[in-house]
């Protein structure tokens, strides 16, 4: 019964200094998908992850201290795919996939469009291209778990102040429509499927004591193929883990 965690650590080196390894040991997940690692493997003491019992796979951005994704797996994957085959995104270290016998896990870090202009255009282009990538992949691998920081709140329930953020990147109508269409294409938002309650968020601004006041956004997801739905046992957000401006999210598949 694999338990998977996705965590935008906002710099794995910074998170390690805040006790991340001890937290990971206690959590003991089968797979941990990391986003925004902000490190090349040669900048890390990799024995830390081996001591936790993980095979570890890193796909870093070419630019140091930026973006980057990783997968930590207790079971050795049959295959690891670095990138999605599109140079613009692979240059930024945004997608890594591990294939197991009856499912595959993707750790994905969607672009942020908060600086507007060029980066928002880049984000919208990524959404289209990522959808095409997943559509092709699904033909080959029907049981997909697409975990990561999507940088989009899907519904009003996923953001603390929907009215004032309706023109903000991360809650724009075209971004939200993309999530709806992604789900309609054969995926399930595992957390929302099991939990219909408001005030569950996975990211908080560092400003204005947003986390203490729970003024957050739910932008991190485990999207699972509909074929895995009968095996979905648990989905949770873990806000008590405080190594980042995000918190980890968990899903358990039977």
**Candidate list 99, 136, 149, 245, residue with the active-site label:** 149
In the structure encoding, which two tokens stand for residue 56, read together?
Answer: 């570890």
In the structure encoding, which two tokens stand for residue 184, read together?
Answer: 């309609």
CB 138 within 8 A of CB 106: no
CA distances from 105 to 33, 61, 225, 237 (A): 8, 20, 11, 18
Is residue 149 among the annotated active site residues?
yes
Q: What is the DSSP pairing of strand 95-99 with strand 104-109? A: antiparallel
CB-hemisphere CA count at 13 Å for 186? 15
In this structure, which long-range contacts are made by residues 175-184, counting pairs with CB atoms below 8 Å and at least 24 apart in sequence?
175/123, 175/124, 175/127, 176/152, 178/127, 178/131, 178/152, 179/150, 179/152, 179/154, 180/154, 181/131, 182/131, 182/134, 182/223, 183/223
In the structure encoding, which two tokens stand for residue 127, read together?
Answer: 């959404």
Q: What residues are annotated to the active site?
A: 149
């Amino acid at each position: 019964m694999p338990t998977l965690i996705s965590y935008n650590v906002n710099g794995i080196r910074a998170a390690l200094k805040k006790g991340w390894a001890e937290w990971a040991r206690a959590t003991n997940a089968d797979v941990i998908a990391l986003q925004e690692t902000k490190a090349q493997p040669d900048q890390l003491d990799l024995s830390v992850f081996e001591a936790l019992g993980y095979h570890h796979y890193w796909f870093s951005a070419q630019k140091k201290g930026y973006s980057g994704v990783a997968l930590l797996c207790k079971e050795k994957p049959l295959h690891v795919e670095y990138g999605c085959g599109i140079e613009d995104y692979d240059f930024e270290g945004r997608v890594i996939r591990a294939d197991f016998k009856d499912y595959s896990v993707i750790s994905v870090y969607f672009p942020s469009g908060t600086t507007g202009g060029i980066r928002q255009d880049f984000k919208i282009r990524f959404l289209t291209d990522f959808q095409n990538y997943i559509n092709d992949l699904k033909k080959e691998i029907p049981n997909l778990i697409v975990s990561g920081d999507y940088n989009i709140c899907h519904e009003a329930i996923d953001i603390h102040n929907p009215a004032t953020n309706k023109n903000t990147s991360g809650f724009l109508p075209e971004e939200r429509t993309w999530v709806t269409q992604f789900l309609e294409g054969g995926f399930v938002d595992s957390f929302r499927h099991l939990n219909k309650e408001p005030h569950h968020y996975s990211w908080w601004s560092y400003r204005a004591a947003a986390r203490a006041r729970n003024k957050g956004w739910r932008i991190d997801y485990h999207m699972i193929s509909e074929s895995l739905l009968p095996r979905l046992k648990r989905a949770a957000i873990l806000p008590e883990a405080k190594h980042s401006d995000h918190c980890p999210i968990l899903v358990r598949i039977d």
